[in-house]
Structure 1
Amino acid sequence: WLAEHMLILGIENPQGDITYVAAAFPSACGKTNLAMLVPPAAFKGWKVWTVGDDIAWLHPGPDGRLYAINPEAGFFGVAPGTSYKTNPNCMATLGRNAIYTNVALTPDNKPWWEGIDDPEPAGLIDWQGRPYDRKNGPAAHPNSRFTVAASQCPSYSEKANAPEGVPISAIIFGGRRSTVAPLVYEALDWEHGVFTGASVASETTAAAVGQVGQVRRDPMAMKPFCGYNFADYWAHWESMAGRASHLPKVFHVNWFRKDADGRFMWPGYGDNMRVLKWIVERCAGRAAAHPTPVGNVPHAEDIDLYGLDLKRSTLDALLAIDPEIWAREVEEIGQYFAGFGERVPESLRRQVARIKAELARQRAA
């Protein structure tokens, strides 16, 4: 088994075919939003079904595929920033039978947080029980939370409680990186996919411990949860190649790339469906990509932008791989792996060496 910090969702196309994916993101990288995504209006006929938003247990099935189950009965998410704009299904789920911690309270005893749709009311009580004063910081704690029964979610999947789980076609890793990672890329194979997960990093936010904005390695988004040596954990991931004959494809996404002025380049939220569509079509062998040392990256025309006002130059920048930046990144990844000593799987060192060599050739060309 793989016991992972992952969401599970089903992506249904207009023909009624459902592709199940699991995805792992460090805290405050949009995992709950993705788990309950509502496709943009331009994607008529597409649907997203929520199997789980936080934990996935994956095991090889009799057909050689990995199957995932969600052992949880509810959702546990960060409140600030959650709204009908960012996550309408989540807001609909929170309409009743919910528990909140460290949020602010309105005069009529309703929860309130920064980023919610309702404007800041007069007479607000902050998360410490004081009359709200901006000088004291935010009204709701930046890591304030909600928990609610998953069955209340409008996108809750009928497969959520299937004892056999759902077959996983893709595993998606992601992090909050302002410059390094492109919008999406596909790992070359399972070995490279394990490397992709093991090298996940994210710029910290208030939802994570430590200084805001610092790059923090968070392999498979499991740093707060992995109960044994990461090198042995990566080896266990590698061992799945001998246990399952039809392993999922592995992808990495980054919704948080910024331009030279520090502005987010990708709209995110429901428009992340456009990236999911490419992932689904790659799994089905219908979408194109071009190889890079980092992985297979879509051509700009492979991302469906129908109904979205996004300049081609912006999309090109979102998909760009900068050899100089990646040379530094891979050097840092190698140093991080070295910290785990001889127990690190040789396959991870092999991937570091391969990417370094390919980047060097690219830079020399």
Structure 2
Amino acid sequence: MTTIKDVSERAGVSQATVSRVINGTSAVSPDKKFKVEQAIQDLGYRPNSIAQALASSRTDSIGIVVPELGSPFFASLLQEIEDNLRRFGYHVVVTAGSNTQKGQQESVDFLLGRRVDALILHTLELSDDFLIDLDKRSIPVVLVNRFVPEMATSCIGIDNELGGIEATKHLLENGHTRIACITGPLDKSDARGRLLGYRKAIELAGLEYDEMLVAQSGFTEKSGFKAMEKLLQRREQGHCNFSAVFASNDHMAVGAMECMKEHGLDIPQDISVVGFDNVNFSRYLSPALTTIHFPIEQTGVEAVNLTLAKLKQSVRNVNFTLSPTLVARNSVKDLEKKPYDFNKEII
């Protein structure tokens, strides 16, 4: 196996000079640098990555924490981040911190122990204080789909309130005046933003916000199913009536649709449905799901841009807040009754 000694002998320089060229720790004359690089190429020498990391304090790796790996949402986000980081010579170390504070904190500690150069975190369980303290360390931190005011320049997210407005506005424009909402856990900022957008659209249309039409849920198919059961029970008991439902993510929408079908309801003839995220499977449902597009690819790109800007301490164009958009498919029935004028901006 080729060693630094072999390279130094081939180039006619000291081993220390070879080490300086490899690690870039200090200046080397152009002539000596050329000889070393030529010797490395001729001998096919591959530097020891661990030794390089110790010498340069860099590992050329970025640590990423997500709640889970099996979700289509996180799979797409990770792929986009990994593809873009590779273009700049970085590799990723990914850990799934689960949906617990303990699990996500252990993931962060694991990555710090691996001496990654930066952290990209999609975490809703870690406290603001923990993240603020982490951000004060020498390692760059980027938060995805979360906003912490004290870390405003470290956060990449989307306008969840706008997404909730657009989903509800679409149903209102199609004549639906009684719209239910299956919201995510309200201790999560994205769930609160989407519910706020739903409520804002309802009230700006001159309608009354009705808490009986809102059911809190987790961001899963199973919890979406249970939330839909609650709403249908309320309807059967005469507490509320509705012709449409806005589910705060596509997984909950799938669960809600399954519940409706078990109750013999047709979608969208009996109840219309709008989801949120536009994950890959949403277009293949029956009927294809109308949903709000979460710009996952752009989120990954912006997270990488911000990470590189922090690592290189350089100025890069970073879009910190992205705008979701409506994707209209076949899960919304047009009641042909549009009593509201939405020609003016609803926002």
**Fold shared by both chains (TM-score > 0.5):** no
More strand by share: 1
> TM-score normalised to the size of structure 2?
0.25
Which has more radius of gyration?
A: 2
* Structure with the larger RCO, 1 or 2 (CA within 8 Å, 6+ apart): 1
More helix by share: 2
> TM-score normalised to the size of structure 1?
0.24
